[in-house]
Amino acid sequence: MNKNELKSLIKSAKKKLKADVKQSVIKELTEITGKLGSQPKKVSKEIKKGAERLAKRIAGEIKIDKSVFAEPASDVTVIASAKPARIAKKIITQ
């Protein structure tokens, strides 16, 4: 696997991580605010903005191990969890 492919895989894994963190934070906070009472649009918008900022910060801090992507094609399940169709297709065609 060349350097550009590895960078692409790491970047897509970070994007997936960022999206997952954002969605989980939004879900948890809206659930909590829902228990406390009705949720105005302003609060909902602030939750989304804050979740985006937090996810960006967390994704920037986490270092992804390059050796996970450099393993042989037999471990497709570990690699395919980031973006199944695109990554699995690259591994199979190699």
Q: Which residue has the higher pLDDT, 88 or 27?
A: 27
- At residue 87, the pLDDT reads 47
- List the alpha helices (DSSP H) in 1-94: 3-36, 41-61, 76-80, 84-93
Domain extent listing, the chain: 3-93
Residue 6 — very low, low, confident or very high, per pLDDT cuts 50/70/90?
confident
Contact 79, 68 (CB under 8 A): yes
Q: Which residue has the higher pLDDT, 93 or 64?
A: 64
- At residue 20, the pLDDT reads 92
Give the count of beta carbons closer than 10 Å to the beta carbon of residue 55: 20
CA-to-CA separations, 24 to 55, 56, 58, in angstroms, rounded: 10, 13, 13
pLDDT in tens, 19-52: 999 999 999 998 988 888 877 888 889 999 999 9
pLDDT in tens, 58-80: 888 888 877 777 665 544 444 44
